[in-house]
Chains A and B, each alone.
Chain A
Amino acid sequence: MAKLIFVFLTLIPILCNSFTPEKTSDRRILVLLDDFAVKSSHSLFFKSLQSRGFDLDFKLADDPKIALQRYGQYLYDALVLFSPTIERFGGSIDAAAILDFVDSGHDLIVAADNNASDLIREIATECGVDFDEDTSAVVVDHSGYAVSATEGDHTLIASDDFIKSDVILGSKKIEAPVLFQGIGHSLNPSNSLVLKVLSASPTAFSANPKSKLTSPPSLLGSSISLVSVIQARNNARILISGSLSVFSNRFFNSGVQKAGSPTKHDKSGNEQFFTELSKWVLHERGHLKAVNVQHHKVGETNEPSIYRINDDLEYSVEIYEWSGKSWEPYVADDVQVQFYMMSPYVLKTLSNDKKGRFFTSFKVPDVYGVFQFKVEYDRLGYTSLSLSKQIPVRPFRHNEYERFIPAAYPYYGAAFSMMAGFFVFSAVHLYNK
């Protein structure tokens, strides 16, 4: 019995591993499906994840045995919901459990579809993404559809309106449009964390393709988002797509020609788009860490505990980006440091040496008080860096002021000649006869 307990105890750390970029092995993803057929029909997407070292655990969404956590530890680092019609998850999972999962810093990929269930819609709404409330509506685009001999209703859209961000979509330009067939969503304008990655064209609208439009559609034009991502404040990342079939082998392998465009691409942009996007969502790109924050006076190397006003100081920080395998030096020319007390007194862009070290030097303002070195780095697609280091600044001490001021020489001269005169006068007065 004791042996059994021992074995169990040694297993606990193995079972309860959670994602840290430092630990590349054991990145486990739970994939919840409506049907196991998706595993086969979407195998290219899953294979690309597996080939990047992820351990996929396929489960039916209504499997009563599924669980995200055990003994308070999360069993997975990311969750893929490819179960658009699920009304109730099996096991202990519900919308709140999934949001808790995200709140604890884990990643989520959600694919909705026509007939997306209320549960999936609820999860999306909690993430700041509102799917069209009309359950029969799909995105239709009569000008930006994908030319197809068998799809006449223009619900198969070829969209090439991507977010302009190399970190989210990779540095290689996506040449071919992305095929999309599904429902559209809008983003909550007050939510600053959610980003439209793939937008519909200005001619698109969201409505039931079988009926004529009698009232203006609720979602229209390029405000329709087809695929969105969210980066939460805890750097958890979420991908929400209005279509499950965009991940399918059929779309990955299908050729695409956008209506009105003469070029026919042999392969749609879906594979590149979603592979790159999944790299971002699963923190293989755009995850920054800052280490080794240093500051000191010019010409010194030790960090002082206090600065005097008008000191010249040097500030440096090292920033690295996670590449999926290792921490690579981050190169950018827009990292800024603030010298901050209630408001920034100095805001300076840091230079970098292409090896990850960012540095600058500046003069401490002639205001004393408790300052902070602040690096608030929020860039599209990158995890946000927020560093602050407190440092007091004192005024000049009494003996640090200037002593020999040329303009005051007349005063010195007057005083000292007076003193000399006093000495002479005292001697004369005492000893003169």
Chain B
Amino acid sequence: MATILAKFLLLLFTISICNAVTIPTPISDSHRSAALQLFHGSSSSLEETYEALRVFEILALENKPDVSAATCQNVVENLGSSSSLKDLFYALKVNGILKCKVDRAVFQGTASRLKATVNDASTLVDIYYTIGSLVLIKDQAPNVDMLLADADGTFHSIKALSQSDGRWRYSSDNPESSTYAAGLALEALAGVISLASSEIDQSRVNTVKSDILKLFDSIQKYDDGTFYFDEKFGGGREHQGSLSTTSSVVRGVTSFAAVTSGKIDLPGDKVLGLAKFFLGIGVPGSAKDFFNQVESLALLESKRVPIPLVLSLPATVYSLSKKDQLKVTVNTVLGSAAPPLTVKLVRAFHTDAKGSAVIEGKELQYDQSRGLHVLSVFPDNVDVGTYVFVFEIVLHDSGSENDYAIGGQIHVPIYVTGIVKVSNAEIAVLDSDLGSDETQKTLDLAGTDVVSLSANHLQKSRFSFQLTTPHGRAFKPRQVLLKLRHETKYEHIFVVRNTGKKFEIILDFLGLVDKFYYLSGRYDFELTVGDAVMENSFLRPLGHLELDLPEAPEKAARLPPLPVDPYSRYGPKAEIGHLFRAPEKRPPQNVSLAFLILTLLPFIGFLVGLLRLGVNFKNFPSSAVPATYAILFQLGVAAVLLLYVLFWLKLDLFTTLKALGFLGAFLLFVGHRILSHLASTSAKLKSA
């Protein structure tokens, strides 16, 4: 698990934080502004308050928020009451920075309370807080009697928790060992030594020192020389990240180193590696991480272990056209000045030719005013390209070498950039390989002119140009791509290869018809030349070519689908209105009315005719009963006709038929009566 985690970390720090250049830079102003952002508001717990105050103290921030009044009150409350060990510990730590007014009696009371519990404490964390608090009281109230009577016993009880690999257990009944706990234990042991009324047995101190060295054997390492401690996964307890684990160890080791007289033989490269680890994190986003990082760096700088010196370059990209200087700074991790020293450029070589150095054994000049080591001019044989510069730090005072961790040779990748000259660009359409040069056109690639050509599938097209470095050498950029884009937006990419300075590509259309999907028409040329060290990388349209290709055979591959423009896929659709059936054509109303009158004319003629014939109603029955039937019959006929009129005006078929049924029956009856009456009268008349 730890190795997987280490791999993750490696990836994370090398890629997302340190990027290509793995030289971390010391703590700078960006840290300071980030600190003000992170630790701005009121902290909820004393632990957070302490972390904020400590960070402000280390970074020597001027305009830090003033919280002392409220915090001091909190501190005094915590000291007076029987608060938990942890709160007490952090209250004392805060007090150490803020120097609140606390009665000596309070310290005395707290101290005696703590001393009483020191031997009862069973877990490492409790011992850590107790001893830590006592040490803090000793510092803050020197006249309080703090000395531990049974220092040896306490020392032994802590040491009893240590494991053979240098790690510690949290408590005697927990078999899990932890690197984080080792840091706590070392700090507690350092406290016990400083609190001891009598000297602690030196042999015991020495075993702890060898424990520390064992602990450093389990240190984890990245390829770039970064060292860190990592916690193996443990059940139960909260998992500590590698940052808090490493910083716990650093805290423990430095405090232990501070109280012991003999030296702890820590290798300088590991101390430097630890410094690199902390710096490599960059600016952490969480307050806890920020505190761990800054405090550990401050402890590494506190002269108890070799002080790491960090060599950093403000810039690793140098432009020949701007005549940049190579600048190197050497600082301590917190960004303060290093002791007098010389930076030597041991060697510089091109990444493609590792054997042959372009610069060898050169000392950088120290610019006092800016605090920079400067290589004022690049030698002439440094052309554009990527180089590795190898630096070495040489301290002026050779006696202080053990006080500083400077590391060995430092490899720094340097990009030397410049303007590459582009010339002799020619584009031509050839009939054969040798071809006539009639269609040859020259192009100024620095300008914007374009050419237009036409060709068929039997011809070829040749495009060539030259690239030379500022020192007149051949230059081969990483990216030399010729793009042909058809009208359909389908693109074909060709890599242009070079022989020496000259880049040339011949497009044999006969061999390319398949690749071009037999698509005739306009092809746009586009040339991309780019390289990391080329300051004038460009993408430039060259012009277009009208290509006449044969018809595609049936089996030819079809053009693959092209990506659709997402914007065209959305958006409103065109509105659709329904086309209604056109109403039938009708004559104007006047015409209809005129024809209505015409249709009424025969009826009028009929009436006139009847009058002219001299109709009479003499046959109308004279007796009462037949006359009634005759009237009813005529009324019935009129009713039927009126029903028809009503049918037209408003009634529907069903009502009409119903009414017609009744009327019909009625009409049948009265009609039969009147007609039989009329028939009998006329029969009587005939017989008479």
Task: Name the contact of B285 in the complex, choosing from A44, A196, A209 (C-beta under 8 A).
Answer: A44
Q: Which residues of B contact A245 (CB under 8 A)?
A: 15-17
Q: Is B116 an interface residue (CB 8 A)?
A: no
Check B596 against A413 for contact (C-beta < 8 Å).
yes
Q: Is B480 an interface residue (CB 8 A)?
A: yes
CB contacts under 8 Å to A, within B597-622, are 597-600, 602-603, 606-607, 610, 615-620
Nearest CB in chain A to that of B289: its residue: A40
B544-570: CB near A (< 8 Å → 1, else 0) gives 000000000000000011111011011
Q: How far is the CA of A363 from the CA of B15 in the complex (A)?
A: 65
B280-291: CB near A (< 8 Å → 1, else 0) gives 011111101100
B30-46: CB near A (< 8 Å → 1, else 0) gives 10001000000000000
Known: A44-B285, A216-B481, A420-B641. A428 touches B317 (CB 8 A): no
Known: A44-B285, A151-B20, A220-B493. A164 touches B11 (CB 8 A): no
- CB-based A-B contact count at 8 angstroms: 290
Q: How far is the CA of A143 from the CA of B575 in the complex (A)?
A: 45
Known: A142-B530, A399-B652, A419-B641. A40 touches B285 (CB 8 A): yes
Q: Which residues of A contact B589 (CB under 8 A)?
A: 406-407
Q: How far is the CA of A153 from the CA of B413 in the complex (A)?
A: 10
A413-433: CB near B (< 8 Å → 1, else 0) gives 111111111111111101111
Q: How far is the CA of A209 from the CA of B641 in the complex (A)?
A: 104
CB contacts under 8 Å to B, within A157-198, are 163-164, 181, 187, 189-190, 192, 195-196
Q: How far is the CA of A155 from the CA of B14 in the complex (A)?
A: 14
Check A426 against B641 for contact (C-beta < 8 Å).
no
Q: Which residues of A contact B9 (CB under 8 A)?
A: 35, 37
Task: Name the contact of A37 in the complex, choosing from B241, B414, B528, B618 (C-beta under 8 A).
Answer: B241
Check B572 against A212 for contact (C-beta < 8 Å).
no
Q: How far is the CA of A151 from the CA of B386 in the complex (A)?
A: 12
Q: Is A99 an interface residue (CB 8 A)?
A: no
Check B576 against A344 for contact (C-beta < 8 Å).
yes
> Is the contact region of chain B dominated by helix, strand, or loop, or is it mixed?
mixed
Nearest CB in chain B to that of A212: its residue: B478
Q: Is A156 an interface residue (CB 8 A)?
A: yes
Q: Which residues of A contact B281 (CB under 8 A)?
A: 37, 40-41
Task: Name the contact of A347 in the complex, choosing from B284, B315, B573, B599 (C-beta under 8 A).
Answer: B573
A348 to chain B, nearest CB (A): 6
Q: Is A51 an interface residue (CB 8 A)?
A: no
Known: A35-B5, A151-B317. A142 touches B495 (CB 8 A): no
Q: Which residues of B contact A396 (CB under 8 A)?
A: none
Check A365 against B603 for contact (C-beta < 8 Å).
no
Check A181 against B561 for contact (C-beta < 8 Å).
no
Check B285 against A152 for contact (C-beta < 8 Å).
no
Q: How far is the CA of A141 from the CA of B414 in the complex (A)?
A: 18
A181 to chain B, nearest CB (A): 7
Q: How far is the CA of A187 from the CA of B620 in the complex (A)?
A: 103
Q: Is A114 an interface residue (CB 8 A)?
A: yes
Check A41 against B16 for contact (C-beta < 8 Å).
yes
Task: Name the contact of B15 in the complex, choosing from A114, A141, A213, A399 (C-beta under 8 A).
Answer: A114
CB contacts under 8 Å to B, within A190-246, are 190, 192, 195-196, 202-203, 205, 207, 209, 212-217, 220-221, 223, 244-245
Known: A149-B316, A155-B20, A410-B596. A113 touches B15 (CB 8 A): yes
Check B284 against A409 for contact (C-beta < 8 Å).
no
Q: How far is the CA of A380 from the CA of B574 in the complex (A)?
A: 17
Q: Is B12 an interface residue (CB 8 A)?
A: yes
Q: How far is the CA of A336 from the CA of B539 in the complex (A)?
A: 43
Q: Is B669 an interface residue (CB 8 A)?
A: no
Check B415 against A346 for contact (C-beta < 8 Å).
no
Check A36 against B596 for contact (C-beta < 8 Å).
no
Nearest CB in chain B to that of A259: its residue: B537
Q: Is B637 an interface residue (CB 8 A)?
A: yes
Q: Which residues of A contact B598 (CB under 8 A)?
A: 410
B208 to chain A, nearest CB (A): 30
Q: How far is the CA of A41 from the CA of B280 in the complex (A)?
A: 11
Q: Is B581 an interface residue (CB 8 A)?
A: yes
Nearest CB in chain A to that of B603: its residue: A417
Known: A35-B8, A35-B12, A366-B581. A152 touches B599 (CB 8 A): no
Check B495 against A214 for contact (C-beta < 8 Å).
yes
Check B284 against A143 for contact (C-beta < 8 Å).
no
Q: How far is the CA of A413 from the CA of B595 in the complex (A)?
A: 9
Check A142 against B5 for contact (C-beta < 8 Å).
no
Check A150 against B315 for contact (C-beta < 8 Å).
yes
Q: Which residues of A contact B263 (CB under 8 A)?
A: none
Check B576 against A152 for contact (C-beta < 8 Å).
no
Known: A41-B282, A190-B561. A113 touches B16 (CB 8 A): yes
CB contacts under 8 Å to B, within A366-408, are 366-367, 378-380, 398-399, 403, 405-408
Check A430 against B530 for contact (C-beta < 8 Å).
no
Q: How far is the CA of A349 from the CA of B577 in the complex (A)?
A: 11
Q: Which residues of A contact B493 (CB under 8 A)?
A: 216-217, 220
Q: How far is the CA of A273 from the CA of B640 in the complex (A)?
A: 87
Known: A142-B531, A142-B537, A220-B481. A432 touches B617 (CB 8 A): yes
Check B571 against A203 for contact (C-beta < 8 Å).
no
Q: Is B341 an interface residue (CB 8 A)?
A: no
Q: How far is the CA of A59 from the CA of B618 in the complex (A)?
A: 120
Task: Name the contact of A405 in the complex, choosing from B1, B413, B586, B597 (C-beta under 8 A).
Answer: B586
Known: A406-B589, A414-B599. A143 touches B538 (CB 8 A): yes
Check A349 against B572 for contact (C-beta < 8 Å).
yes
Q: How far is the CA of A32 from the CA of B141 in the complex (A)?
A: 48
Q: Is B330 an interface residue (CB 8 A)?
A: no
Q: Is B644 an interface residue (CB 8 A)?
A: yes
Check A195 against B566 for contact (C-beta < 8 Å).
yes
Q: Which residues of B contact A223 (CB under 8 A)?
A: 563
Q: Is B4 an interface residue (CB 8 A)?
A: yes
Q: How far is the CA of A34 from the CA of B617 in the complex (A)?
A: 120
Check A189 against B564 for contact (C-beta < 8 Å).
yes
Q: Is A85 an interface residue (CB 8 A)?
A: yes
Q: How far is the CA of A220 from the CA of B567 in the complex (A)?
A: 21
Q: How far is the CA of A220 from the CA of B5 in the complex (A)?
A: 34
Q: How far is the CA of A39 from the CA of B575 in the complex (A)?
A: 52
Q: How far is the CA of A348 from the CA of B575 in the complex (A)?
A: 5
Task: Name the contact of A249 in the complex, choosing from B283, B600, B618 (C-beta under 8 A).
Answer: B283
A226 to chain B, nearest CB (A): 15
Known: A249-B283, A407-B586. A150 touches B495 (CB 8 A): no
Check A213 against B495 for contact (C-beta < 8 Å).
yes
A416 to chain B, nearest CB (A): 7
Nearest CB in chain A to that of B580: its residue: A366
Nearest CB in chain A to that of B581: its residue: A366
A408 to chain B, nearest CB (A): 8
Q: How far is the CA of A196 from the CA of B617 in the complex (A)?
A: 101
Check B12 against A38 for contact (C-beta < 8 Å).
yes
Check B285 against A407 for contact (C-beta < 8 Å).
no
Q: How far is the CA of A248 from the CA of B12 in the complex (A)?
A: 11
Q: Is B104 an interface residue (CB 8 A)?
A: no
Q: How far is the CA of A189 from the CA of B34 in the complex (A)?
A: 44
B517-545: CB near A (< 8 Å → 1, else 0) gives 00000000000101111100111000000
Nearest CB in chain A to that of B315: its residue: A149
B222 to chain A, nearest CB (A): 13
Task: Name the contact of B415 in the complex, choosing from A84, A153, A338, A425 (C-beta under 8 A).
Answer: A153
18 A-B pairs in the complex with CB atoms less than 8 angstroms apart? A34-B12, A35-B12, A35-B241, A36-B239, A40-B286, A85-B7, A150-B21, A152-B386, A156-B19, A214-B495, A220-B483, A223-B563, A334-B572, A408-B592, A417-B602, A417-B603, A419-B641, A426-B634
New A-B pairs, 4, CB < 8 Å, besides A220-B481, A419-B641 = A142-B477, A398-B652, A409-B592, A432-B616
B residues with a Cβ closer than 8 A to A are 1, 4-5, 7-9, 11-13, 15-17, 19-21, 30, 34, 239, 241-243, 281-286, 288-289, 313-317, 386, 413-415, 417, 476-481, 483, 491, 493-495, 528, 530-534, 537-539, 560-564, 566-567, 569-578, 580-581, 586-587, 589, 592-593, 595-600, 602-603, 606-607, 610, 615-620, 630, 634, 637-638, 641, 644-645, 648-649, 652-653, 674-675, 678
